[in-house]
Amino acid sequence: MIMKKLLFLTGFLALAAGGASAQPVYSVRDVGMSNVDDSVHIRFVVVPGEKNIMPRGTLILTPVIRGTGQVLPLEPLVYRGRLAEKIHSRNEVFSRRRPSLPDTNSDLEGLTYYHAVVPFRDWMRGGGLVLNSQWYGCKKDMVAEQNTLLAEPVPAPPAPPVVVVVEKPVPAKPLVFEVKKVTGNAYLDFPVGKSAIQPDFRNNAAELAKIRGTLDSLIQAKNVRVRGITLVGYASPEGSTQLNDRLSAERADALKAYLLQNYKKGDPGLISARSGGEDWNGLRSLVAASSIRGKEALLKILDSDASDAAKKASIKALNGGATYATLLKDYYPRLRKVEYTIDYELVQQQPR
């Protein structure tokens, strides 16, 4: 085994106009490389230095095995400044990616014990272990880079596939990912024959605030990732079925466009919209819970096996058209809606 007790790295110094004295933000000690069961074991400890990472800065340390004409980058260690960590966590909430596991300490707040196991390859013979250090500023541009030789590898015969393990002084509790969903109805009022959302039309402002409040609470939660939003548009069953199918699809698309306009940082692919057609089931539920004139006869029509066109004709003729007039005024507007389902992932640490 080759072991080095302490190695100070002076990369990523304070950057200021006119120059500044070198202050290492970290050091590496207890570097070791050995052969165990036809594998190369790599170990070292990262120690915080005298200078902290800038609030918006990011430091990436990548161990690299360099041999004859080939290199093998290993699992990197990522350290973020205070503000960079907050921005990183917020950006992950509404993305398709699962939140990163906590594999390093921000701002090098404590020791990090690194351990990697890789199979030996002939090209590694006579090479070395290099630590590639990269510093990124607030604009995500790399502002400095340094490569430092840590150790020379010991030859070994070929071994099984790569196994990488990052060890911590105190292992983090395992994360549990629980998939949940929240559903609701946006009872948006659409004028007859219209599909565009009008925020100031009837009670639309309150309904839009309701769905935005639900979505905002999930986005702002630190341990939640929104996986998808499903929108289903519906139309009231008057007029032609073909027209209502088109209107219901356009209404779902209109709410999708509204959400994308108000959540521009979100992934458009997370939102899907489709047509639910004429909401006959919704109409029956409203009638069953009402005291509308001709209720029993109306329920009989709705429960029949007649075609949609035949049902519409029978409803219009019921009680000389009086029942249909009541439906148009008090019931059908409540069927012009968009149902939404928000699927999200709750990330929690499993208690020990």
Span 164-184, pLDDT tens digits: 666 666 555 556 667 777 888
The reported pLDDT for the residue numbered 252 is 93
Please check the confidence at residue 328 and state whether its pLDDT lies above 90.
yes
What's the rounded Cα separation, in Å, for the pair 240 and 248?
A: 12
CA 249 to chain CA centroid, Å, is: 26
Residue type (1 letter), 50? E
Q: Please indicate whether residue 290 or residue 215 has the higher confidence score (pLDDT).
A: 290
The reported pLDDT for the residue numbered 307 is 95
The reported pLDDT for the residue numbered 72 is 87
Q: With beta carbons less than 8 A apart as the criterion, state whether 79 and 107 touch.
A: yes
Please name which of 121, 234, 250 lies closest in space to residue 197, comparing C-alpha atoms: 250
| Coil, strand or helix at 169 | coil
The reported pLDDT for the residue numbered 93 is 54
Please check the confidence at residue 7 and state whether its pLDDT lies above 50.
no
What's the rounded Cα separation, in Å, for the pair 343 and 272?
A: 12
The reported pLDDT for the residue numbered 160 is 56
Tell me if the pTM is above 0.85. no
Q: With beta carbons less than 8 A apart as the criterion, state whether 59 and 134 touch.
A: yes
Average pLDDT over residues 300-310: 95
Please name which of 82, 81, 70, 72 lies closest in space to residue 123, comparing C-alpha atoms: 70
Q: What is the mean pLDDT of the chain?
A: 78
Average pLDDT over residues 3-16: 38
The b-or-e profile of 63-93 (16+ CB within 10 A means b, else e) is bbbbbeeeebebeebbbbbeebbeeeeeebb
The reported pLDDT for the residue numbered 349 is 58
Average pLDDT over residues 122-142: 78
Please name which of 343, 29, 11 lies closest in space to residue 182, comparing C-alpha atoms: 343
Least confident of 166-175, 198-207, 282-291: 166-175
Least confident of 86-90, 104-108, 110-114, 199-203: 104-108
User: What pLDDT band is residue 146 in, cutting at 50, 70 and 90?
Assistant: confident
- CB atoms under 10 Å from CB of 47, counted, come to 18
What's the rounded Cα separation, in Å, for the pair 339 and 252?
A: 8
The reported pLDDT for the residue numbered 65 is 86
The half-sphere exposure of 143 on its side-chain side, counting CA atoms within 13 A, is 16
Q: With beta carbons less than 8 A apart as the criterion, state whether 79 and 46 touch.
A: no
Q: Please indicate whether residue 97 or residue 139 has the higher confidence score (pLDDT).
A: 139
* Whole-number percent of the chain with pLDDT over 90: 27
Q: Which two tokens stand for residue 299?
A: 């329920």
Pairing of strands 338-349, 175-186: antiparallel
The DSSP secondary-structure symbol of 331 reads I
Q: Please indicate whether residue 301 or residue 221 has the higher confidence score (pLDDT).
A: 301
Could you give phi then psi for residue 193, rounded to 5 degrees? 80, 5
User: What pLDDT band is residue 155 in, cutting at 50, 70 and 90?
Assistant: low
Q: Which two tokens stand for residue 102?
A: 């906590």
Please check the confidence at residue 197 and state whether its pLDDT lies above 90.
no
